[in-house]
Structure 1
Amino acid sequence: MMTILVATASLHDRAFGWIERQLEPWFLGLSARLIFSSVLMVYFLNSAQTKLGDGPLGLFSPSIGAYAQIVPPIAEAAGYDVNQIAFMPWGLIVLAGTLAEFILPLLIFIGLATRLAALAFISFIAVMTFVDIHFHAVGAETIGQLFDSVHNSAILDQRLLWLMPLLLLITKGPGILSVDYLLTRWLGSESR
């Protein structure tokens, strides 16, 4: 009986070891980037577009809608007049949030500065969650809780799932099918 268990364990280790060696250089990073991007890139790009100010440089002068979404009590206190809101810190926070919604999903998608972009996106999600809970006064059912029977709370359950591919990208990197890998190879060949 022990021989059968040892043989089965050995076969298991060889088979899955071979699969792991074949997939290791490219699969996890690529799949994490594509899963994150297919679920959230368009969502965040659309959200960022609602924050643009007027004209071709609207990305750098967010609209009052951006302030209302990111720092609602500040926008309300200013009577929804952007000119009445101090750049430091509120304007800077709104500008950074708007730029992050545009830039970070694209960096993750193409695999450029992937680990930093994923880390920055985790910070963005944390700030977004704080704003949703404290400034938009969402209810407990929207926030959710860990290890409950409800599997689809809009904040805790969904955002924990958003974090998984980002954590994978931070720890494993984007894989060889990424701009990061191409740059590493190119810079490595330049130094020779």
Structure 2
Amino acid sequence: MHSTIKKYENFIPSIEERSAKPILTTLVRFTFAASLLIYFWASALTKHGDGPLGLIQPALGAYAQIFPRAMAAAGFDVGALAPWQHAVVIAGTWAEFLLPALLLIGLATRLAALGMIGFVLVQTATDLIGHGALSDPVTLGAWFDRMPDAAILDQRLIWVTLLAVPALLGGGPLSVDGWLQRRRAAYSRAA
């Protein structure tokens, strides 16, 4: 028995060193792409304004999604909002397109994952306060309640945890970051 435990204890660190990080980083980016990429892009498309200037002139719905109370108070007149609110809506729209794309290809992966975590936190605050989810127990949900499907507490915790992996470990070997790192290493050896 002692011999079996010793073999196991010697085997596990070698697996962790060689395989855990490359497998985990690749699997997490795949999981993000398979489960959240289209969600964020579809949401971004609802914010895109008409025509070629749609990315700098977001749709009315973008303002209503991001600043629901301010828009209601302004009678849904975008011109009544402050300049900083316009900047937030434009930045949020761009972020919802760009950050998932960067995670998908694994370019600036750590920064993109941190940006997505920030985006999810802002999205959650908007849903809780602006859209009233804080007072809706079904949407808000609860942790440790046997029901893992609440839109806010359960899903957003899973999203942030998922995004923490590339934020901490990078994009892995099947990423643009990994390719660039291998190119730099090859260049350094050749020089």
> What's the TM-score once normalised by structure 1's chain length?
0.90
CA distance in 1, matches of 2:186, 2:9: 36
The amino acid that maps onto 2:158 is L
Q: CA deviation at 1:14?
A: 3.5
The amino acid that maps onto 1:183 is L
Structure 2: tracts of 5 or more residues without a match: none
* Match runs of 1:1-192 below 5 Å: 4=1, 6-24=2-20, 26-87=22-83, 89-138=84-133, 139-190=136-187, 192=191
Q: CA deviation at 1:158?
A: 0.7
The amino acid that maps onto 1:98 is T
The amino acid that maps onto 1:101 is E
CA distance in 1, matches of 2:8, 2:60: 58
CA distance in 2, matches of 1:168, 1:160: 13
Secondary structure of the corresponding residue to residue 51 of structure 2 = coil
* Aligned positions, number: 187
Whether the aligned pair in 1 keeps the contact of 2:114 and 2:163 (CA below 8 Å) is yes
Q: CA deviation at 1:180?
A: 0.7
Whether the aligned pair in 1 keeps the contact of 2:21 and 2:169 (CA below 8 Å) is no
The amino acid that maps onto 1:30 is T
Whether the aligned pair in 2 keeps the contact of 1:63 and 1:82 (CA below 8 Å) is no
Identity %: 44
The amino acid that maps onto 1:157 is D
Tell me the C-alpha RMSD between the 2 structures: 1.7
Q: CA deviation at 1:84?
A: 2.5
CA distance 1:181–1:78, shift in 2 (3 Å)? same
Q: CA deviation at 1:190?
A: 5.0
CA distance in 1, matches of 2:184, 2:57: 36
